Each structure stands twice: as C-alpha cells, then as structure tokens.
Amino acid sequence: MIKVAGAKAETGASLSEVRKTAERARDNCRTFAVALSPATIPASGQPTFTIGEKEIYFGIGAHGEREIKKTGLLSADETAQVLVDGVVKDLGLKSGDEVNIIVNGYGSTTLMALYIVNRKVHDILNHLQVHIHRTDVGNFLTTQEMAGCSVTLMRLNEELKSCYDSPAYTPTFAKCPDLLRKFNP
C-alpha cells in the first residue's frame, strides 16, 4: 500500500487522489502470517509470546500480536496452503483475478524456506486460475529473532499495477522497472 501511494504521489496527483489510490490498495490487500518462534523485545530481552517447540501460530502479528490459530508443526506446503486459503477467502479472490504476491520473512526464516513457501503459493494460485503479475520474496518487515513468514496478496486493477511497477529505491525495497521488463516480459 505504501509503495502504491508513493508511486501515485510521484505522478503529481493531489493528496486526495493519493489517498483514494492508497485506500484502493489497502482494500485489495490481505496478509496472513505464521510464527514458529517468538520475537524478542530488544529493551527487555524478553520474548513477545511463548510457543511450544512443536507448535506454530497462525495470524500472529509482526510485533507479537496474538494468534488466531495454533497447530502442531506443518510442512512448508501445508503452511502455505493455510496462509493462501485464508487470504483468498478473506479477499474474495476468484478465477481470472490478477494479484501481486509478497512472501515476507520475519527475520529468522531462511530465504530458501521463503522460496519453498512461494513455490506453493504459486501452485495454489495457478490451480485457482488467479493470474500472478509480480512476486517479491524477502525480509521486508522483520522482527528480532522471530521465525515465520507472511503471505500478502494484492488484487490488481490497471492503476494499482502501474503504481506497483513504478520505480522505487529505498534501503530495504527496490523496484527497477528496466530489470523487471528484461526478466518478466
């Protein structure tokens, strides 16, 4: 949502237009997360929550906000299935919709594990005949020592797609359209 709003502002749009675009992005985004270990609060050195060695929490917030579902350990594919099913249902995605995907690690999850989750996210969406426009995998919003990930889907229209594809250069996120065209025709 922030990326889209920034891109809209770069076009010289009025504050009202930027707000409407940001709200459209917000209304078309959903995120569902899973944690395998708690985050640590730097000031106190204390974990934000406790979790059993063989448990995972779904719906956990990046700052330790309470989970909505606790289960035993699941495979990466099973975990991705729960995440995507939740997002697809809440967003009301249907065959023919187009989305961007963000698979975000919380800091202690390996990039390889994030790509394994991403592979399954793609499989599920392809099976549902939801078109994937762009995918970003990495650690964009992290929490100290927390293992887990989140899956975000943004349903697109032409405006949101254009704004998302616009250049962005920040310390933790970059979009380079010339490179995207080279590797994603």
Write down the catalytic residue from 63, 122, 131, 133: 63
Q: How far apart are the C-alpha atoms of 72 and 55, rounded to whole Å?
A: 4
This prediction has a pTM of 0.89
The radius of gyration of the chain's CA atoms, rounded to the nearest angstrom, is 17
| Fold category of 30-156 in CATH | Hypothetical Protein Tm841; Chain: A;domain 3 (3.30.1180)
The answer to whether 102 touches 151, Cβ cutoff 8 Å, is yes
pLDDT at 121: 98
Whether 131 is catalytic: no
pLDDT at 140: 86
DSSP string, 158-184: HHHHHHHHS-EE-SS-EE-HHHHHHH-
Q: What is the pLDDT of residues 24-83, one digit of tens each?
A: 999 999 999 999 988 887 888 888 888 888 999 999 887 767 778 899 999 999 999 999
Q: How far apart are the C-alpha atoms of 33 and 91, rounded to whole Å?
A: 15
Q: How far apart are the C-alpha atoms of 152 and 149, rounded to whole Å?
A: 10
Mean pLDDT of 134-145: 88
Name the residue ranges covered by the structural domains of the chain: 1-28+158-185, 30-156
